[in-house]
Structure formats: structure tokens, C-alpha cells
Amino acid sequence: MDTVDLKTTAQSLVARGKGILAADESTPTIKKRFDSIQVASTDASRQAYRELLFTAPGVEAFISGVILFDETLRQTAANGTPFPQLLADRGIIPGIKVDRGAKSMAGFPGEKITEGLDGLRERLDEYRQLGARFAKWRAVITIAHALPTNANIQANAHALARYAALCQEAGLVPIVEPEVLMDGDHDIDRCEAATARALQAVFDALFHQRIDLEGILLKPNMVISGLDCPEQADVETVAARTVHLFREVGPAAVPGIVFLSGGQSSRAATAHLNAMNALGPQPWELSFSYGRALQEDTLKTWHGDPARIAEAQKVFHQRAKCNGAARYGEYSTAMEDMAA
Ligand code: 13P
């Protein structure tokens, strides 16, 4: 393993003005997204949609890397270029989702543990050969009555750290993603408490598994009200509390914190990131690794219609540009109305 490479890749992924596109929806998840626009999920429709995203003109100014699903890493563009190479040729770093999904945790009703460690070393070697330079593993933490439990937090943290060690051995930057879900009517205080517990456990486990923190990226949720909470914290509160928590628990050696959108609207996700960056310099880059918040409008515009690809690409460019501006704290809602 070349630790210099890992650091360089991690830093490139959080280059100023840029962030990551999470386009690694598993086959069941992309089906859900396609169902929402009444498009059948087939090999061909998934390929066409991903090609739309990856060839969108100009997005390399705002997109540093793309997380792919196994199927997509092996697919090619219509002209025969493998997707990882197409991205790399544009200066966009290809990444790969390597976990095998969050499954019910035995003995802990309502909680999930992420699987995928068995055989991971061999899979990582193959992914690197196919062009991936970073990886993602998502752990899911649920807030509910008496949840999350410590056992669930510890089990997920341990798996994340084992995954991170295997990635660094293979020369891939691990994106470490402990996601405290927004689902529920909990308030922002409970989100903050659960997020703090999860992050403390994760960094403890990373330390024990001898992870080089300069060669990882952290992909957390923001400190935010539950989706069904009657009192929603405003943008400034979310930004201030999120940054405060990360200053408490996020080691300065980590090059970047790349937030997930987790069910926030596209505009809310951009506004939150913007408000955080407007608070001034922090020990780490504060960036995005959005799935839904980057793709929602694009998906709706496309609607499975080849005639709308160019229009959908403009919408994607516009969304990426807004998030690029949010990296500097320079986004304003007026940008939403400007032509791409
Ligand atoms: P969302 O931004 O839609 O939460 O997706 C990010 C992601 O990669 C979740 O693992």
C-alpha cells in the first residue's frame, strides 16, 4: 500500500469547489427511484441513466468522484468506453460501493448491521483493477424508543473499521459512512446525541484497527431534526450544531467530511452545506457525497426519454454547480433560477 497515494486521492476527492456524486444505488434501490418516474429498471435503462450522469457536460468542475455500484463499474458507455475509464478521462475519480447492505441485527429488533466483510479483500483487489480508487461502506443507525443500542453502534463501528483496514491495504480510500437515519419524529437533540455516540465509536474502532486517518473520508449525516419532527430546526441551527459536533469528535487528520443527503430535499441539502462553509475554515474540508439530493431533479427531467437527456444533463449541471458554490459558502437561492 502506498499511503501517499491514499492521501492524494482523499484530498483530490475534497478539492475546493468539488464533491462526490453517489450513484451507487443497488439494483433494488435504483428500481425504487425508477418506479418514482414510471421507468422500468433494466440493464439497459440503468446503463442509459448512468451514462447521462457521467457524460453531463461541464460537471467535472464540481464533481471530484462518483461512487458506482458493482454492475455499473463493469458497464460501458454506448461508445464502448468502460465507465471507470470514461470518468477518469474527465478527471473524475471512480469509486465503488462494497458493502452488501444493512440487514436486521439478530437479537436487536429494529436495528441493522451492515454485511459484506467475507471475501472483501479479493473483491477490493478486483475493483482496483477495474479502476476504482475509493470505496464506500454504509452503516445504518436507527433512532427510535430506546434505540440506538450500544451493541448496534459497536457492531457497526467494528465492521466499518475492518472494512477501512482492508481498503487501505488494497490501496483504496475508504469512505466511512455511519448514517444516523432521519426517519422518525425525533428532535435535533436526539439526532445530535445518537450521532455523537456513533462517531465516537467509529473513531475508537478506526484507531484500534490502525487506520491512517489521513487516508479516509468520513461520510456522516448532518445534525438535523427527524423527518416527522413537528419542530424543524432551521438552516443556521443545523449548520452550527453539525459543525460544533464535528469539532468535538472529528479528528483534524481526516481530510474531509462529505455529507450524505439522507432524505433532505435537494435545496435543503445545498443550503445546509453552504451555511456550514459560511461559518469559516475548519480543520477538514466540508463537502458533499449526495445521492438523492444531486439526482432527484435530473431523474424527473429525464423520465426515461432519450429526447430529454440533454435537458436532464443541464439540470444535473445546475445542481452540481449550486453544491460547488456551497463548498465556498457562496450559494444563494438566486442561483437556482439562473440558467445552467
Ligand atoms: P443520499 O445522499 O441519497 O443519502 O445517498 C448518499 C449515499 O451514498 C447513501 O449511502
Instruction: Evaluate whether 101 touches 130 at the Cβ level (below 8 Å).
Output: no
pTM summary value: 0.98
Residue tagged 475519480 (cell numbers): 93
Answer yes or no: is pLDDT of 288 > 60.
Answer: yes
User: Before 306, cis peptide (omega within 30)?
Assistant: no
Atom of ligand 1 nearest to the CA of 261: 2
Helix 292-302 with 43-54: angle, nearest 10 deg: 110
Helix 120-129 with 150-170: angle, nearest 10 deg: 40
- At 58-117, the pLDDT tens digits run 999 999 999 999 999 999 999 999 999 999 999 999 999 999 999 999 999 999 999 999
At residue 9, the pLDDT reads 98
Report the share of the chain in percent with pLDDT over 70.
99
Answer yes or no: is pLDDT of 340 > 80.
Answer: no
Residues with CB under 6 A from ligand 1: 22, 138, 177, 260-262, 290-293
Atom of ligand 1 nearest to the CA of 295: 3
- Across the chain, what does the average pLDDT equal? 97
- At 114-149, the pLDDT tens digits run 999 999 999 999 999 999 999 999 999 999 999 999
Instruction: DSSP letter for 286, please.
Output: E
Residue tagged 487516508 (cell numbers): 215
Residues 274, 264: Cα–Cα separation, whole Å: 14
| CA 110–ligand 1 middle distance (angstroms) | 20
Task: Please state the rounded mean pLDDT for residues 305-324.
Answer: 98
